[in-house]
Structure formats: C-alpha cells, structure tokens
Amino acid sequence: MTRDLNSMNFVSTIENNKIPVLVDFWADWCSPCKLMGNQIEELDEEMDGKAIFAKVNVDEEDMLSNSYEISSIPTCILFVNGRVVQEFKGVVPKERLKAIIEEYTH
C-alpha cells in the first residue's frame, strides 16, 4: 500500500531508505492523478518491496509541492539515497515506470 507523505514524514521516508522511493504528487480533483495512482498501487503490489511508493496531496502539502517546484500534476519523482534521480510529469505507462524503477533496484 502506498504511503501518504506530509511535511512531518517526507524527509525521513526519502532519506532513510536503501531502496528507491517513488513519490506521486497528486490531488483528489485530478482525473489523470487517479489513473496514475491506480497504476502506482498496482506497481507497489507487483514489485513486492523492491521500492517504496508514496504520495503527496498537493492541496494539503503546498510547502512540499513548492519545494519540488510542482507546476502540474500528476508529477512523480524517483528518489534514490535521498536524491532525485528521475522526474515524470503526466500519466506515464506503468511498464515504463516499472522499468525505470528497476534500474535502481539491486
């Protein structure tokens, strides 16, 4: 199950993991976000612990959204060892996203 991130747990989630962390910046009113969210939930199950899947509601966490300069949603950011390694805007096909994440798994 994807984790809900906020300003209290964002940094610890990103920095304290040895595996990739994919963060989905989304909003409840955004239809493409719902599609992307469903794909991410499926990936979370398929990848079985090889990566962490998390989400940030941009309407509730504007400080986080601003700090990562989120200008459109959905936007996904892939973190490895606490650093941004990839960023995706819009709906990305699930298989493409999975292949990119797998490049960073051991």
Catalytic residue list: 30, 33
Q: How would DSSP label each residue in the chain?
A: -PEE--TTTHHHHHHS-SS-EEEEEE-TT-HHHHHHHHHHHHHHHHHTTSSEEEEEETTT-HHHHHHTT--SSSEEEEEETTEEEEEEES---HHHHHHHHHTT--
Among residues 72, 50, 68, the alpha carbon closest in space to that of 7 is found at 68
